[in-house]
Amino acid sequence: MAQSTSMEDFEALLNESFEIDTPSEGSVVRGKIIAIEAGQAIIDVGYKMEGRVDLKEFSNPGEAPEIAVGDEVEVYLDRVENARGEAVISRDKARREEAWDRLEKAYAEDSRVEGAIFGRVKGGFTVDLGGAVAFLPGSQVDVRPVRDAGPLMGLKQPFQILKMDRRRGNIVVSRRAILEESRAEQRAEIIGKLNEGDAVDGVVKNITEYGAFVDLGGVDGLLHVTDMAWRRVNHPSEILSIGETVKVQVIKINKETHRISLGMKQLQADPWDSVERKFPLGTVHKGRVTNITDYGAFVELEPGVEGLVHVSEMSWTKKNVHPGKIVSTSQEVDVMVLEIDTAKRRVSLGLKQTMRNPWEVFSETHPIGTEVEGEVKNITEFGLFIGLDNDIDGMVHLSDLSWDQRGEEAIQDYRKGDMVRAVVTEVDTDKERISLSVKALEGDPFAEAVGGVKRGSIITVTVTAIEDGGIEVEYEGMKSFIRRSDLSRDRSEQRPERFQVGDHVDVRVTNIDTKTRRLGLSIKAREIAEEKEAVEQYGSSDSGASLGDILGAALKGEDR
């Protein structure tokens, strides 16, 4: 009985020792290197089982294996092949299992892991994290895009695990997160030492259209193009180059975003402080055209001081022309200071004020009555515009085209481009207006005809036509019309038919209208005037003498 019991105990102990000495497949076991041959390590994994592992599995990519006979190593037991007494083992799988355990712990604790970039794949790189292979996206290599990742290959460095999935065997890591973190700490430290208003040295790292990034020793500040100089800077590359050391002033520090604004012009004297002293109102200065817009041109008086010549102050004569047709960029011009607003940092300049008003010059050189000649520039409903010297125009009104024709008829004889002679009749320098007359070239026939005639004069006219309403008469070539009611004082004699064409008739001038160029004539007025004169000469009709007596006496007096 005792013997049987001891047999059972022995069996139980034997089974137990088998369980202890025989590791289960699919687990990591500890073994001992008993030999190294033919590029392999022979490892005793216990219970008289040996396995072979390629030496390359004991090294990191690009490194030589550091193992020797007698070293204890952990390997992964794939399966036990009892028939041959060998075990299929893998150091890689052991390392991977070990690594995954370690990495999952690091991921949970959000701690960094060490690794080395060893290969390039689409969209990024492969990283060995001590047994597990991770993917490093291209965007996560550095803070700024990296063109050549060669110098980073094989270097042991820290990484941050962004994502991992053990079932799929995926790990995504970032090098950029580590850099940003240390950079943020570095920035915070440097920014803590900076104060607004400090003047510091920096190195130009990058140049853009709107400014330059300056490295202040681990932290970048933006030097905006408008803060580089008091003068206009079209592109930062005009005054800066990459790698150049510059002195800048800290204008503003944003403690939350760690953004730093820098300035260079703030370290120089503001030219606007002396503008009023250097450029008094009404003075003329030389300047350079820096920019041209639809509304005018900017002229630099000195570096940092620009003034605007408004389009209305550019030319006396070119009113509706783009400023680019009058001046060009970089051209040197003489300008007059018209207005200064130091608060708004604005100077109003005038270009035309440096030249004489062409209307004043014309007035001096062409007194009223001067004959001029010019080309018809434009024809409007109220007259002709004639081009004169210095790009100015004179206007011939419809009424100044002809003595005989109506203006609307006379203007039909003119075409654009015709050369026309005229006489200056008025120059208004304030309104910039010159009045011309074509008809004044010839003497005024009306004025000549009525030169000695005044209101009340008695003149002799010739009847040229008989009409129902009166008679048409002519005096020195000037036609006039005597209405029926003016043909006689006596109503019975107010008959046009009692006259004949060619009759000479004495009439009294009642009106001289130079505008309509007409004489007002009346036979009736002549008769009344003669009667009045006779009454004054020979007595009042109240004394009893009749008109016949008076006229009779007058006639007798004339006969004597």
Domain annotation covers residue 554: no
pLDDT tens digits, one per residue of 136-179: 887 887 877 676 777 778 788 888 888 888 777 788 888 888 77
Q: Looking at residues 212-237, what average pLDDT do you find?
A: 81
Q: Do 264 and 229 meet the contact criterion of CB atoms below 8 Å apart? A: yes
Strands (E), 343-456: 346-350, 371-380, 383-387, 393-397, 419-428, 433-437
CATH number of the domain that residue 104 is part of: 2.40.50
Q: Do 36 and 69 meet the contact criterion of CB atoms below 8 Å apart? A: yes
Locate 79 and state its tokens.
């399966």
**CA-to-CA distance for 246 and 234, rounded, in angstroms?**
19
Q: Could you tell me the pLDDT band of residue 468, with boundaries at 50, 70 and 90?
A: confident
At 336 the pLDDT is 92
At 389 the pLDDT is 80
Asked if residue 172 and residue 99 are part of one domain, the reply reads: no
Which residue in this structure is represented by tokens 């009409």? 467
What's the CA angle centered on 100, arms 136 and 79, to 5 degrees? Answer: 125
Residue 73 scores a pLDDT above 60? yes
Asked if residue 54 and residue 91 are part of one domain, the reply reads: yes
Is 0.75 surpassed by the pTM of this model? Answer: no
Structural domain range at position 529: 445-538
What's the first-to-final CA gap in the chain, in angstroms?
Answer: 210
Asked if residue 127 and residue 84 are part of one domain, the reply reads: no
Contacts of 304 (CB under 8 A, 6+ apart): 229, 230, 231, 265, 270, 271, 272
Asked if residue 534 and residue 452 are part of one domain, the reply reads: yes
Which residue in this structure is represented by tokens 């708004």? 344
**CA-to-CA distance for 176 and 485, rounded, in angstroms?**
115
Q: Among candidates 26, 44, 23, 48, which has minimal Cα distance to 35?
A: 44
Residue 560 scores a pLDDT above 90? no
**CA-to-CA distance for 62 and 410, rounded, in angstroms?**
105
Q: What are phi and psi of 255, to 5 degrees?
A: -65, -30
Q: At residue 358, what is the residue type?
A: P
Q: Do 91 and 76 meet the contact criterion of CB atoms below 8 Å apart? A: yes
DSSP letter string, 374-389: EEEEEEETTEEEEE-G
pLDDT tens digits, one per residue of 286-339: 999 988 999 999 998 888 888 899 988 888 877 788 998 888 988 899 999 999
Asked if residue 391 and residue 365 are part of one domain, the reply reads: yes
The count of structural domains within the chain is: 6
Residue 3 scores a pLDDT above 50? no
Domain-ending residue, one of 87, 109, 131: 109
Strand order in the sheet with 478-483: 478-483, 470-475, 458-467, 504-513, 518-522
CATH number of the domain that residue 230 is part of: 2.40.50.140
| Beta-sheet pairing, 346-350 with 332-341 | antiparallel
